[in-house]
Protein backbone atom coordinates (compact mmCIF):
# COMPACT_ATOMS: atom_id res chain seq x y z
CA UNK A 1 0.00 0.00 0.00
CA UNK A 2 2.95 2.30 0.46
CA UNK A 3 3.41 3.09 -3.30
CA UNK A 4 -0.06 4.68 -3.40
CA UNK A 5 0.82 7.28 -0.77
CA UNK A 6 2.60 9.69 -3.22
CA UNK A 7 -0.27 9.33 -5.67
CA UNK A 8 -2.81 10.17 -2.96
CA UNK A 9 -0.74 13.19 -1.94
CA UNK A 10 -0.54 14.36 -5.56
CA UNK A 11 -4.30 13.99 -6.03
CA UNK A 12 -4.95 15.83 -2.75
CA UNK A 13 -2.72 18.73 -3.79
CA UNK A 14 -4.31 18.89 -7.24
CA UNK A 15 -7.82 18.92 -5.79
CA UNK A 16 -6.83 21.57 -3.27
CA UNK A 17 -5.42 23.82 -6.00
CA UNK A 18 -8.47 23.30 -8.18
CA UNK A 19 -10.83 24.29 -5.38
CA UNK A 20 -8.79 27.38 -4.52
CA UNK A 21 -10.07 29.11 -7.66
CA UNK A 22 -8.20 30.64 -10.52
CA UNK A 23 -4.85 32.30 -9.91
CA UNK A 24 -4.86 36.08 -9.56
CA UNK A 25 -4.98 37.58 -13.02
CA UNK A 26 -7.47 35.05 -14.31
CA UNK A 27 -10.49 36.34 -12.47
CA UNK A 28 -11.88 38.37 -15.32
CA UNK A 29 -13.01 41.73 -16.56
CA UNK A 30 -15.56 42.14 -13.79
CA UNK A 31 -12.91 41.87 -11.08
CA UNK A 32 -10.60 44.18 -13.02
CA UNK A 33 -13.40 46.70 -13.37
CA UNK A 34 -14.19 46.59 -9.65
CA UNK A 35 -10.52 47.26 -8.88
CA UNK A 36 -10.42 50.02 -11.52
CA UNK A 37 -13.47 51.78 -10.06
CA UNK A 38 -11.95 51.55 -6.57
CA UNK A 39 -8.70 53.12 -7.80
CA UNK A 40 -6.74 49.89 -7.33
CA UNK A 41 -5.02 50.22 -10.68
CA UNK A 42 -2.28 47.67 -9.94
CA UNK A 43 -4.91 44.96 -9.56
CA UNK A 44 -6.89 46.27 -12.53
CA UNK A 45 -3.76 46.16 -14.70
CA UNK A 46 -3.01 42.63 -13.50
CA UNK A 47 -6.54 41.53 -14.41
CA UNK A 48 -6.89 43.43 -17.70
CA UNK A 49 -3.53 42.71 -19.36
CA UNK A 50 -3.95 38.97 -20.04
CA UNK A 51 -7.58 39.46 -21.07
CA UNK A 52 -6.77 42.34 -23.39
CA UNK A 53 -3.94 40.35 -24.97
CA UNK A 54 -6.48 37.58 -25.68
CA UNK A 55 -8.78 40.07 -27.41
CA UNK A 56 -11.22 41.18 -24.70
CA UNK A 57 -12.46 44.52 -26.01
CA UNK A 58 -13.57 45.87 -22.64
CA UNK A 59 -10.18 45.13 -21.05
CA UNK A 60 -8.50 46.76 -24.07
CA UNK A 61 -10.56 49.92 -23.63
CA UNK A 62 -9.76 50.20 -19.93
CA UNK A 63 -6.05 49.65 -20.57
CA UNK A 64 -6.19 52.46 -23.12
CA UNK A 65 -7.72 54.71 -20.50
CA UNK A 66 -5.14 53.72 -17.90
CA UNK A 67 -2.29 54.51 -20.29
CA UNK A 68 -3.94 57.80 -21.28
CA UNK A 69 -4.35 58.98 -17.71
CA UNK A 70 -1.31 57.30 -16.16
CA UNK A 71 -3.40 55.28 -13.74
CA UNK A 72 -1.29 52.38 -12.46
CA UNK A 73 1.16 52.82 -15.36
CA UNK A 74 3.34 55.59 -16.72
CA UNK A 75 1.32 57.76 -19.11
CA UNK A 76 2.01 56.46 -22.61
CA UNK A 77 -0.06 57.79 -25.50
CA UNK A 78 1.39 55.24 -27.93
CA UNK A 79 0.27 52.34 -25.71
CA UNK A 80 -3.07 54.04 -25.10
CA UNK A 81 -3.64 54.38 -28.85
CA UNK A 82 -2.63 50.75 -29.40
CA UNK A 83 -5.21 49.48 -26.91
CA UNK A 84 -7.90 51.89 -28.08
CA UNK A 85 -7.27 50.81 -31.67
CA UNK A 86 -7.83 47.16 -30.78
CA UNK A 87 -11.04 47.93 -28.88
CA UNK A 88 -12.24 50.39 -31.54
CA UNK A 89 -11.85 47.78 -34.26
CA UNK A 90 -14.22 45.60 -32.26
CA UNK A 91 -16.84 48.33 -32.11
CA UNK A 92 -16.33 49.92 -28.67
CA UNK A 93 -17.77 53.42 -29.14
CA UNK A 94 -15.76 54.95 -26.28
CA UNK A 95 -12.52 53.61 -27.78
CA UNK A 96 -13.54 54.86 -31.23
CA UNK A 97 -14.17 58.32 -29.82
CA UNK A 98 -10.91 58.43 -27.84
CA UNK A 99 -8.95 57.18 -30.85
CA UNK A 100 -10.58 59.84 -33.03
CA UNK A 101 -9.53 62.54 -30.57
CA UNK A 102 -6.00 61.14 -30.52
CA UNK A 103 -5.81 61.29 -34.33
CA UNK A 104 -7.13 64.86 -34.20
CA UNK A 105 -4.36 65.94 -31.83
CA UNK A 106 -1.61 63.62 -33.05
CA UNK A 107 -1.27 62.02 -29.59
CA UNK A 108 0.19 58.52 -29.70
CA UNK A 109 -0.53 58.37 -33.44
CA UNK A 110 0.40 60.66 -36.33
CA UNK A 111 -2.08 63.50 -36.72
CA UNK A 112 -4.55 62.39 -39.38
CA UNK A 113 -7.83 64.24 -39.70
CA UNK A 114 -9.25 61.67 -42.15
CA UNK A 115 -8.74 58.89 -39.59
CA UNK A 116 -9.99 61.18 -36.84
CA UNK A 117 -13.19 61.93 -38.74
CA UNK A 118 -13.73 58.24 -39.50
CA UNK A 119 -13.38 57.10 -35.89
CA UNK A 120 -15.48 59.98 -34.58
CA UNK A 121 -18.22 59.26 -37.12
CA UNK A 122 -18.23 55.59 -36.10
CA UNK A 123 -18.43 56.53 -32.42
CA UNK A 124 -21.30 58.94 -33.12
CA UNK A 125 -23.19 56.08 -34.79
CA UNK A 126 -22.57 53.59 -31.99
CA UNK A 127 -23.24 55.75 -28.94
CA UNK A 128 -26.84 55.69 -27.76
CA UNK A 129 -28.69 59.00 -27.89
CA UNK A 130 -27.49 61.31 -25.18
CA UNK A 131 -24.53 63.36 -24.06
CA UNK A 132 -21.81 61.03 -25.39
CA UNK A 133 -23.40 60.89 -28.83
CA UNK A 134 -23.87 64.66 -28.91
CA UNK A 135 -20.21 65.20 -27.98
CA UNK A 136 -19.06 62.72 -30.63
CA UNK A 137 -21.20 64.42 -33.30
CA UNK A 138 -19.92 67.87 -32.35
CA UNK A 139 -16.30 66.73 -32.33
CA UNK A 140 -16.75 64.92 -35.65
CA UNK A 141 -18.28 68.05 -37.18
CA UNK A 142 -15.42 70.25 -35.94
CA UNK A 143 -12.92 67.88 -37.56
CA UNK A 144 -14.99 67.64 -40.76
CA UNK A 145 -14.89 71.43 -41.08
CA UNK A 146 -11.10 71.19 -41.38
CA UNK A 147 -11.13 68.59 -44.16
CA UNK A 148 -10.75 69.28 -47.85
CA UNK A 149 -13.54 67.84 -50.03
CA UNK A 150 -11.19 65.00 -51.06
CA UNK A 151 -10.35 64.20 -47.42
CA UNK A 152 -14.03 64.26 -46.48
CA UNK A 153 -14.76 61.79 -49.30
CA UNK A 154 -11.92 59.55 -48.06
CA UNK A 155 -13.25 59.65 -44.49
CA UNK A 156 -16.76 58.79 -45.64
CA UNK A 157 -15.44 55.87 -47.69
CA UNK A 158 -13.61 54.54 -44.61
CA UNK A 159 -16.80 54.77 -42.55
CA UNK A 160 -18.80 52.91 -45.23
CA UNK A 161 -16.14 50.19 -45.51
CA UNK A 162 -15.76 49.72 -41.78
CA UNK A 163 -17.10 46.64 -40.07
CA UNK A 164 -16.51 45.42 -36.56
CA UNK A 165 -13.67 42.93 -36.51
CA UNK A 166 -13.28 40.08 -34.09
CA UNK A 167 -10.27 40.13 -31.82
CA UNK A 168 -7.05 38.89 -33.41
Average pLDDT over residues 87-112: 98
- What proportion of the chain, given as a percentage, has pLDDT over 90? 78
Per CATH, which fold does 23-90 belong to?
Answer: 1.25.40
* pLDDT at residue 9, as a whole number: 33
Residue (of 147, 163, 38, 47) closest to 63 by Cα position: 47
Query: Could you report the per-residue pLDDT of 109-129, keeping only the tens digit for each?
Result: 999 999 999 999 999 999 999
Give the C-alpha separation, 101 to 21, whole Å.
41
The helix/strand/coil state of 91 is: coil
Task: State yes or no: pLDDT of 22 exceeds 80.
Answer: no
Average pLDDT over residues 14-25: 37
**pLDDT grade for 28, boundaries at 50, 70 and 90:** confident
Task: State yes or no: pLDDT of 2 exceeds 50.
Answer: no
Helix axes 131-144, 93-105, angle to 10 degrees: 30
* Domain positions in the chain: 23-90, 91-163
On average, the pLDDT of the chain sits at 86
> pTM for the whole thing?
0.81
Measured CA distances, 131 to 88, 117, 145, 155, 156 (Å): 19, 19, 21, 24, 23
Task: State yes or no: pLDDT of 149 exceeds 50.
Answer: yes
Give the C-alpha separation, 12 to 29, whole Å.
30
Q: Which of 16-20, 21-25, 128-132, 145-149 has the lowest mean pLDDT?
A: 16-20
Task: State yes or no: pLDDT of 18 exceeds 90.
Answer: no
Query: Could you report the per-residue pLDDT of 38-93, keeping only the tens digit for each?
Result: 999 999 999 999 999 999 999 999 999 999 999 999 999 999 999 999 999 999 99
Amino acid sequence: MRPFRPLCLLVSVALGLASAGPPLGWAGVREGLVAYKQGDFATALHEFLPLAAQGDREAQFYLGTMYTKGWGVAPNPVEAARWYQRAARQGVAEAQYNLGVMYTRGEGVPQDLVQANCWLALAARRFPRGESQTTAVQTRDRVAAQLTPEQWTQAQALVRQWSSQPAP
